[in-house]
Amino acid sequence: MASETEEDLLKSFMAEVSEVERDNEVQRILGSFKLNPFEHLNLPFDVSTDDVKKQYRKLSLLVHPDKCKHPQAKEAFGALAKAQQLLLDPQERGYILDQVTAAKEELRAKRKKELKKDNASRIKATVDEGKYEEQYERSEEFQVQLKLKVREILAEKEWRRRKMQMRISEEEGRLKKDEEETKEMWKRKREHEEQWEETRENRVSSWRDFMKTGKKGKKGEIKPPKLKTEDPNKSYVQRPVKRG
């Protein structure tokens, strides 16, 4: 019964929402920092998964393309769906919350330095045993600073990731080029070997013909000198030697 009452309240709320409010919500969603799903759903960092689901349902009905006439309603609706998916994924949510923790540590270190210069605040923080700082971290001022610091850290992490991905892509491209050049080299070598093998019979035949008709004499055979009847450089005439 309670769930039906909640459903009725939600329908009543949606009926009261004006078109201007829908358009404003579309613009807010699309103007949110893309790397922070908490911003898309307009939620604090310490919400539960049930809160994530309820907020998604509320906002998705608000900007649903069938109910919202804004030309970018579909894009805003998709951004909400992606934000919910990330925050319901333990690994993705854990990664973002790790950056939130890092942002808090940076802001706390910065405030600690500032308190050293402000004796009154430093004494108050010491006397209250941390309650003064807890109260400050719940303030709107701290939450705005935290939101901006988380943006800064997420952007830096994403930039590093993209640079690493670019280097990986460049290395993969170089390896692919080397692989293609190696394949081309082996292809040319294989084609050369195939051509060499195809002409083998012709080479063998040519060698055999040469052995039959070649000018080289047999091993150990002494060839007679050529007969010369005239020799302008010599005063004698060379005659052939008769064999016995």
Q: What percent of the chain has pLDDT over 90?
A: 41
Q: Between 218 and 179, name the one with better pLDDT.
A: 179
pLDDT of residue 230: 57
Exposure string of 154-186, with b = 16+ CB inside 10 Å and e = fewer, is beeeeeeeeeeeeeeeeeeeeeeeeeeeeeeee
pLDDT of residue 217: 47
CA gap 153, 106 in Å, rounded: 10
CA gap 110, 116 in Å, rounded: 10
Q: How many other C-beta atoms lie within 10 A of the C-beta of residue 42?
A: 15
Which amino acid, one-letter code, is at 29? I
Most confident segment among 152-156, 158-162, 234-238: 152-156
Average pLDDT over residues 76-92: 96
CA gap 237, 223 in Å, rounded: 19
pLDDT tens-digit readout, 13-65:
666 678 888 899 999 999 999 999 999 999 999 999 999 999 999 999 999 99
Under the banding of pLDDT at 50, 70 and 90, the label for residue 125 is: low
Under the banding of pLDDT at 50, 70 and 90, the label for residue 185 is: confident
Average pLDDT over residues 193-211: 75
pLDDT of residue 118: 66
Q: Taking the model in full, what pTM does it have?
A: 0.60
pLDDT of residue 33: 94
